[in-house]
Chain A
Amino acid sequence: MTENISYIRDHFLEAEKPPAANSSAFAWIRNNLFSTWKDAVLTILAVAALVYYVPKAVNWLFISAVWTGADRTACLTVDQGGQLESGWNGACWAYVNDRFVQFMFGSYPRDELWRPLLVAAMFVALLVPLLIPKVPRKGLNALLLLVVFPIVSFFLLIGGFGLRHVETSLWGGLMVTLIISFVGIVVSLPAGILLALGRRSSMPIMKTASIFFIELIRGVPLITVLFMASVLLPLFLTPGNNIDKFLRALIGVSIFASAYMAEVIRGGLQAIPKGQYEAADALGLNYFHKMTFIVLPQAIKLVIPGIVNTFIGMFKDTSLVTIISMYDLLGIVKASFGDSGWITPVTPLTGLIFAGFVFWIFCFGMSRYSAFVERRLDTSHKR
């Protein structure tokens, strides 16, 4: 019986190609665009809308747009007193180009611009390693970014140690947007942690005070908090005080952000199993050690996406300081609409699209990062 009567195939069959009806581009189109008659109608409508609007938008934004010019006549038609043929409509990027430095730094003295630029460079140099998970020494990095960097940049921006003093009223543009949101972040993290711990504390006075603060601030719009900071704060301080307007806005934004951050962190604290608290107690750790070594590291890691979302919200909300007449990016762009050098019908739209694009880049970047962290931390079981 040793002769070879193997009837079992000793090699694999070549895999056959899937049927053309399932794999060709045509099949993809049929399955993803025209699978039912409703889908077909929707697809045709959407394609029609795209074919109609996209070329128009591209034309307005790029092809018809004016890219160079020194003043408003570059973006006006002949009958409006300019150079372009009548009926022209397009973006006026020449205006953004002309005002670009102002949009970035406000009225910061032009010969001192290296100071905000240096601050920006330091910020990037400290932030990037913090965001990349593989780079070691996160603690030192965070300390540098959240404690040392703000102090150094404060003196760099405002002056001192031989540098010329620059009034905060001269600050403006994207610089102010970034400063306000960064200060909001730096203040709101520790303040939010304290408030969240207070809210979960067993001490009635701490608990009541935290709940009152959090719910009051979260119940009202940011604009009323900003009004409070800008109108009421001077009343609350010793008579004759002259508290800086910029500082008032910072205080308002920080108060607001802290209340929201507290709720995010509270979510993290609640997600930590009771066993962790009890184990820390069993080890004889006191409250401070229990929180800093056991509970908070786990809780904060859990809610990093929530924290980043709060940052995104805060970054967008800084635009509200426009209403208490400060010149952040949106404020300065809006103020430039009234600038007689560039009044044209298309100026507001161009300026707002530019500002919107800048805000969008920052927020979209942050939300992508948050999604990345979420995926990295996600050890849960997907359905």
Chain B
Amino acid sequence: MALADARTGSGEPPKVSLLYNPALRSAVYQIVTLVVIVAAVWYAWHNVVQNLARANMTAGFGFLNSRAGFDVAQSLIAYSSDSTYFRALQVGLINTLVIAAAGVVTATIVGLLVGIGRLSHNWLIAKLCTVYVEIFRNIPPLLVIFFWYLGVLALLPSIRTIFQHVKENPDAAFFISNRGIYMPAPVFGENFGIVLAAFALGVVAAIAFTIWANARQRATGKRPPVLWVNLGLIVLFPLIVFVVVGAPLTLDYPVPGSFNMKGGMVIGPEFLALYLALSLYTASFIAEIVRAGIRGVSKGQSEASYALGLRPGQATRLVVLPQALRIIIPPLTSQYLNLIKNSSLAVAVGYADLVAVGGTILNQSGKSIEIIAIWMVIYVSISLITSLFMNWFNAKMALVER
């Protein structure tokens, strides 16, 4: 009976002093914390109001509709100095996304190659990849950006040299100068929409074919030539359509203007410096992640697949890589997030990303609280969306346990 009492606690909680009551203690701690946080926020808010009143400023986002008055060198959407601050921030956001997307793609490819290279049986390749990784991941990305921008790209031929070059070779279409890389710009004719539609159709057909091929492989054990058929659907079919509708694409060549090249497309040195630095820096981390991922797959897996008669390429593609991906994806996500956040270093070389544009607005209008709030909201949203996507991808790749 005594035992049963002890087990059920005989109804009443043990008598302890109120001072030692865990629930009460936790409530007190939390209330104290809450009071401290509220007091700090109130103190800050009170000071902000006073400081703004002293400087004769008002808070609020109304300023976003006033005229920006500054120019942005690189803009993918229509923008002039007469546009609003809001428009300027949109330009900045798009530029941030462009550099982030370009960087993520390049860093992944370079990182994958270097990571596999470090595990190569070829001693020289493995050592070279190691040297690359050890150099780049131990140097601040900002320094690498300056290295490209001030140390390398600034030493390229000046625009005057390019003018001279054009005089001597009138047919040249690509120029590399210290003001960027000039190249012909595509000008789309009216029928180009048909080509785009053909391309979309090709992609849809390729997906459908892949699904059918997988089903057929499961049913018969034979794998149809997926790669060649898909390549034909995605590349050849739009190409044929392109020729049939009369090649509705012309090129706009860059030609010397009075002070600068006119026409064509230009990739500015700011973008190039940032792009090269971010991709190469992040690639060194991705290489390490890839290496750890591949090494994390037990050797028995590849030996087993050889025993089943798979060729080395198939073993890597069908057995090792899918398992390595499970180890790779979570840290890869945080590298992508780092790259996106590091793209804010654009401000150091004047590439008009979100932070650079916001910084200009901040200096012009003095709306520091609003601008920093906008930055934080946008970056946190980008981070959240990226991690949601990568979590979804991770779940898709994860081991399905039965």
Contact = CB atoms under 8 A, between A and B. Distances in A.
Interface of A: 31-33, 35, 39, 42-43, 46-47, 202-206, 209, 215-216, 218-224, 227-228, 231-232, 234-239, 312, 316-317, 319-320, 322-323, 330, 334, 337, 345, 348-349, 352-353, 355-356, 359-360, 363-364, 367, 383
B197 interface: no
A220 B146 contact: no
Given A206-B30, A220-B375, A319-B140, A232 B369 contact: yes
Contacts of A316: 138-141
Contact of B122 (A35, A232, A235, A355): A35
Contacts of B128: 46
B-side interface mostly: helix
Given A46-B128, A348-B151, A232 B372 contact: yes
Contact of B29 (A32, A203, A218, A319): A203
A31 B124 CA distance: 12
Contacts of B43: 236
Contact of B342 (A221, A234, A363): A221
B47 A235 contact: yes
Interface string B295-312: 000110000000000000
B155 A345 contact: yes
A363 B29 CA distance: 41
Contact of A330 (B37, B51, B143, B151): B143
Contacts of A349: 147, 150-152, 155
A227 B360 CA distance: 12
Contacts of A227: 355, 359, 362, 368, 372, 375
Given A39-B121, A209-B37, A348-B154, A356 B139 contact: yes
A32 B139 contact: no
Interface of B: 26, 29-30, 33-34, 37, 43-44, 47-48, 50-52, 54, 120-125, 128, 134-135, 137-144, 146-147, 150-152, 154-155, 298-299, 341-345, 347-348, 355, 359, 362, 368-369, 372, 375-376, 379-380, 383-384
Contacts of A363: 137-139
B33 A205 contact: yes
A224 B143 contact: no
Contacts of A220: 341, 375-376, 379-380, 383
B125 A221 contact: no
A350 to B, nearest CB: 9
